[in-house]
Every structure is written in C-alpha cells, then in structure tokens.
Amino acid sequence: MASSFSKISASHCFWHVTFLSCIFWIAAYFHRAGFCFTSRSPRPDTLPADTCSGRYVYVHDLPSRFNSDILFDYHNVNISYTNMCRFISNAGLGPALNVSNIGVLSSSGWYATDPYALDLIFHNRMKRYECLTTNSSLASAIFVPFYAGLDFGRYQWDYNISVRDSLSLDLVNWLSSKPEWAPMGGRDHFMVAGRTTWDFRRFKDEDNLWGNKLLLLTHTMNMSTLVFESSPWDSNDFAIPYPTYFHPSCYSVLVSWQDKVRSSERQWLFSFAGAPRLNRKDSIRGEVIEQCRASAKCNLMECGSGLSECHSPGSVMSLFETTTFCLQPQGDTPTRRSVFDSMVAGCVPVFFHPRTAYDQYTWYLPREHDRYSVFIAEDEVRRGEVSIEEVLSGYSEEQVRAMRDEVVRLIPRLIYGDPRSRSVGFKDAFDVAVEGILQSVAKIRR
Ligand SMILES: *[C@@H]1O[C@H](CO)[C@@H](O)[C@H](O)[C@H]1NC(C)=O
Ligand SMILES: *[C@@H]1O[C@H](CO)[C@@H](O)[C@H](O)[C@H]1NC(C)=O
Ligand SMILES: *[C@@H]1O[C@H](CO)[C@@H](O)[C@H](O)[C@H]1NC(C)=O
Ligand SMILES: *[C@@H]1O[C@H](CO)[C@@H](O)[C@H](O)[C@H]1NC(C)=O
Ligand SMILES: *[C@@H]1O[C@H](CO)[C@@H](O)[C@H](O)[C@H]1NC(C)=O
C-alpha cells in the first residue's frame, strides 16, 4: 500500500515538474515579449484589495459642458496652436505607436500621448478606481471631473477674459449648490488641471494677462487641484507627473520594460533634448547646449519650433535609452515632461533647479535626491564655473548602477497605466495621486 502510494506520487511528481517548467518557460517567453499573460497580477506595494475603508471616492456627475462637450469642441473646431483631436483616441492615450517600426520600445503599451490629455486620462482611470461609492457620505474624498486644462487650451489664445473664466465660474456655482459641498466647504473636493498652475492664476482682470483665474476663486481655494507644476506660495495645488508615452495595461508589460532599460547599452555619458530659450536672459539652456555640443560624450537633440525629432516618441526614447545621464534644465517654467520620459528610459536625471522636481513631486520621488539624480546648481553653470562632463564623469560605475536601479524602481509610480485596463496590477501615478489626496483630506478632517 505504502510503496504503491509513493510510486504514484513519484510519477505524479515527475509530470508535475515537467508541467511546471513548461508553464514557466511559456510564461518567461510571454514575459520577455511583454504580453499580459496573467489576469491576477501581483499588486506590490499597495493596500490589501479587500479593504476600501478610508479610500472611498465619490465622483460628481457633472453636466457634459464641464467635460465631454469640451472634447467635442476640440474635435470639431480648429483650435489655434493645437491639433488635439487625436487625444480622444484610446481613452486619452492617443494613437497607438507601431512598435514594430520602433525597435527601441517594448512590444505593447506605447502611444503618441499628448501630455495635455491628462484631464481625460485621469478621469478614465477614476472610472475604474476600485473604491468608488455612490453615497457621498461614505466618501473620504470627492472627485470633480472637470477638464480644466482642456478648457484653458480651448479659450486661451483667441478669447477675452470673460470667455476664458466663464466655465470656471459656472463650475464653482454648480458645485456649491450641491449638498456634497456643505459638510466640509469643499475641502474634501479635488480635480485635475493637466497644465502648470500658472495657467490658472491670472491675478488681475485684464485681457492681455495670461490664463484664467480658476485657482484663485474662493471655492477652488478650498479644493485640491492636481497639476503638472504647483505653486510654491499656495497650498491648494499638488504636482503630479506629466504623462509619458508608456501606458502598460498590466504588470508583466511593465516588468519586461524595466528589464529592458536596466540592461540597455548606454554609449552616451549625457544628453540633452530641447531648445534654447533665447528670449529669457536668465536661462542656462544656451550654456547647457554649448557644453553638450563641445563634448564627445554628449548626444544633443536640438528642438526647433514646429515638428522635429523631439516630437517623435521613438527618437526621444532612443536618445534616453542610450544615455546614462539626462540633462533637465528649466524651460519656460521649472518643470518638464522630459524628466518623466527620460526616467522611464532608465536615464538618471540631472537637475539644475530644486523646483524642477525635488520641490514638486514629493509624493513621487525619494527624499534623498542623490539616490536617483544629480544636482548641479544653475548659478555655477551660468557663471561657467562647472564642467557638466567632469561632474558626471566623477561617478563610479557602481554609483551609476545604483542610481539607475533606483530610477528603474520608480518607473511604475511615474507612469499612468492604461485607463481601459480593469486593474493595471501595479501602483501607478494615478494611485499615488489618489493616495496623496486621501491623506491630505484626512489631515484637514483632523
Ligand atoms: C480647419 O483648418 C483647415 C486647415 O487650416 C481648413 O482646411 C478647415 O476648413 C478648417 N476647419 C474648420 C471647421 O474651420
Ligand atoms: C506596423 O509596421 C509594420 C512594418 O512596417 C507593418 O507591416 C504593419 O502593418 C504596421 N502595423 C500597423 C498597425 O500600422
Ligand atoms: C449613505 O451612508 C450613510 C452613512 O453610512 C447612511 O446613513 C445612508 O443611509 C446612506 N445612504 C444611502 C442612500 O444608502
Ligand atoms: C468677450 O467675447 C465674447 C465673444 O467672444 C463677447 O460676446 C463678449 O461681449 C466679450 N466681452 C467683453 C467684456 O468684451
Ligand atoms: C471654505 O472652507 C471653510 C472652512 O471649512 C468654510 O468656512 C468656507 O465657507 C469655505 N468656503 C466656501 C467658498 O465654501
């Protein structure tokens, strides 16, 4: 009895092992190829999925003039300086990139994403948030799906200030008439405005001044707004990442990309993609470009106005994937989309101003800045006191490896997963933002 049992068990074991290694091989194949092969992906670094307590979000059912009608406008009218009807495709991600033409990318998850589509991407992600409630008294925070960034873009260039401000004023009237406003005077409300905060802080009512006054209204002062770049003088906005081109729909697509950039060959010590700022006397971009051009170890991608390589996702990602350090000097404002594109490529960012990232993305980046980045003070570059090449050459191979590993570890929280995915299976920029808002509202409640 006992011996026949062990015989069965041994042969069972043989088949079991063969079967397992076969599964393992198939899984490894799909993993390398970057497919979604599992529906129940691990969710590392997240709260247990069974508890929504303290995480419920109520979403206001806004009239369509505050969101979908704005998209309709973009679709049907020619709007100056933009060709944004394309971001209506793929839930805001834009057209899928044909990755078979772009060898530097992984097999899926890549889109020609316009960063100004964030309003839409975030709203679509929220529709699949795992802790939504239709009972606002259970909610820890209340989301307002207003497309503030797109509303700005629609009216900024050809319209007077009463047109530019009209929907913002309309919004606060609508919100404050709702029963959900009263319990906290709107201090549990939050929204997304996919631009920098400066577009919403016009401080005087004059047509020739920039932007609208969305974030200066007494009601929105009580709310929290998520923007690409926050104001150092105000507490009603929080900075979240610019969207990149990468939006994996599941964990395995993310991991195969991380593996790829961890081991990609980086023949350039440093690189810069961008344009000089000739109209800004204090800009260091001229010096940065000059130093890059003069070094055999630097790869320069100069961006002119209009279409150039800088607007080709494949060229940009290829540059960052083959470079160890990516220079990120300020542009028109301190922050840049390029910070996120380069970090997604596993390139260690070099900052010249604390407001480019350290003072902005405090929910997203480690407090110990030298773990994942290099800082060179703007003033030293401006005065010609520092050779960027010399500073960067000073890092040992182990130091570089450690910084790059940290950058690659950060990738998931810096990107927006595919909003059409039921669950992307990792904690992404959206999850980090919601967590930040929930903590901030909880603090206000106490
Ligand atoms: C939009 O602009 C294009 C090219 O400038 C023009 O051909 C087209 O008629 C315009 N469409 C509308 C609706 O104004
Ligand atoms: C992608 O590019 C390949 C190679 O040029 C081509 O054969 C294929 O049809 C393209 N796919 C799409 C969806 O455009
Ligand atoms: C909403 O939640 C509150 C608090 O738990 C409860 O008293 C109320 O009955 C709920 N309302 C509905 C419509 O379920
Ligand atoms: C602003 O522009 C709109 C139409 O574009 C016009 O109807 C309105 O009278 C203008 N307002 C002022 C104050 O000029
Ligand atoms: C903002 O919040 C404070 C404190 O809750 C409240 O007294 C005030 O009325 C709110 N403002 C508006 C415009 O609701």
Q: Which ligand is nearest to the CA of 100?
A: 2
Tens of pLDDT, residue by residue over 193-225, are 999 999 999 999 999 999 999 999 999 999 999
Residue 139 lies in a domain: yes
**The pLDDT value given to residue 309:** 83
| CB 116, CB 337: distance < 8 Å | no
Average pLDDT estimate for 390-399? 98
Residue 313 lies in a domain: yes
**The pLDDT value given to residue 77:** 60
Query: 133: CA distance to ligand 3 center in Å?
Result: 11
- For ligand 4, atom 14, the nearest C-alpha belongs to 160
- For ligand 5, atom 8, the nearest C-alpha belongs to 185
Query: Does 267 have pLDDT greater than 60?
Result: yes
**The pLDDT value given to residue 89:** 87
Query: Does 13 have pLDDT greater than 50?
Result: no
Residues 275 and 337 in one domain: yes
Residues 220 and 274 in one domain: no
159 in ligand 4 pocket by Cβ < 6 Å?
yes
Residues 325 and 385 in one domain: yes
- For ligand 5, atom 1, the nearest C-alpha belongs to 185
Domain that holds residue 357: 258-411
What are the backbone angles phi and psi of residue 274, rounded to the nearest 5°? 165, 180
pLDDT > 70 fraction of the chain, expressed in percent and rounded? 85
Residue 179 lies in a domain: yes
Q: Which atom of ligand 3 is nearest to the CA of 135?
A: 1
Number of domains into which the chain is organized: 2
Residues 96 and 124 in one domain: yes
Mutate to test the pocket of ligand 2, among 97, 100, 105 (most ligand atoms within 8 A of CB): 100
User: What is the domain-level CATH number for residue 358?
Assistant: 3.40.50.2000
Residues 441 and 329 in one domain: no
98 in ligand 2 pocket by Cβ < 6 Å?
yes
206 in ligand 4 pocket by Cβ < 6 Å?
no
Mutate to test the pocket of ligand 4, among 80, 162, 165, 166 (most ligand atoms within 8 A of CB): 162
Report the C-alpha gap between 112 and 105 in whole angstroms.
12
Which residue, 303, 304, 296, 309, is CA-closest to 270? 296
Residues 428 and 310 in one domain: no
- For ligand 3, atom 3, the nearest C-alpha belongs to 137
Report the C-alpha gap between 31 and 37 in whole angstroms.
7
Q: Say how many CA atoms lie within 13 Å of 320 toward its Cβ.
A: 33
H or E segment at 238? strand 237-239
Pocket of ligand 3 (CB under 6 A): 135, 137-138
Of the two residues 205 and 11, the one the predictor is more confident about is 205
Residue 162 lies in a domain: yes
| CB 148, CB 214: distance < 8 Å | yes
Residue 429 lies in a domain: yes
Residues 183 and 158 in one domain: yes
Q: Any idea which of 20-34, 84-98, 154-168, 202-216 has the lowest mean pLDDT?
A: 20-34
**The pLDDT value given to residue 30:** 47
Amino acid, res. 422: R
**The pLDDT value given to residue 51:** 84
Tens of pLDDT, residue by residue over 336-360, are 999 999 999 999 999 999 999 999 9
Query: Does 44 have pLDDT greater than 60?
Result: no
Residues 111 and 206 in one domain: yes
163 in ligand 4 pocket by Cβ < 6 Å?
yes
Residue 193 lies in a domain: yes
**What tokens appear for 6 in the block?**
């062990």
Report the C-alpha gap between 347 and 230 in whole angstroms.
24
State the pTM of this model. Answer: 0.88
Tens of pLDDT, residue by residue over 69-99, are 998 777 666 554 455 556 678 999 998 998 8
Residues 407 and 426 in one domain: no
What are the backbone angles phi and psi of residue 227, rounded to the nearest 5°? -135, 170
- For ligand 3, atom 12, the nearest C-alpha belongs to 135
**pLDDT band at residue 33 using 50, 70 and 90 as cut-offs:** very low
Residue 31 lies in a domain: no
Residue 86 lies in a domain: yes
Sort 140 into a burial class: Cβ within 10 Å, 0-12 / 13-18 / 19+: buried
| CB 347, CB 321: distance < 8 Å | yes
Phi-psi domain of 384 (left: phi exceeds 0; alpha: psi -120 through 50; beta: other) = left
Query: Does 120 have pLDDT greater than 90?
Result: yes
Residues 308 and 232 in one domain: no
Residues 275 and 316 in one domain: yes
**The pLDDT value given to residue 208:** 95
All residues at 6 or more sequence positions from 276 whose CB lies less than 8 Å from its CB, including other chains:
283, 285, 286, 289
> Side by side, which strands form the sheet with 237-239?
57-59, 141-143, 189-192, 224-227, 237-239
**The pLDDT value given to residue 308:** 75
**What tokens appear for 46 in the block?**
């997240």
Of the two residues 307 and 273, the one the predictor is more confident about is 273
- For ligand 4, atom 13, the nearest C-alpha belongs to 162
Query: Does 22 have pLDDT greater than 90?
Result: no
Mean pLDDT of the chain: 88
Mutate to test the pocket of ligand 2, among 89, 90, 101 (most ligand atoms within 8 A of CB): 101
Residues 236 and 138 in one domain: yes
All residues at 6 or more sequence positions from 88 whose CB lies less than 8 Å from its CB, including other chains:
71, 74, 75, 120
- For ligand 3, atom 1, the nearest C-alpha belongs to 135
Query: 185: CA distance to ligand 5 center in Å?
Result: 4
Considering Cα of 17, then 18, then 24, then 25, what sign does the dihedral take?
Answer: positive
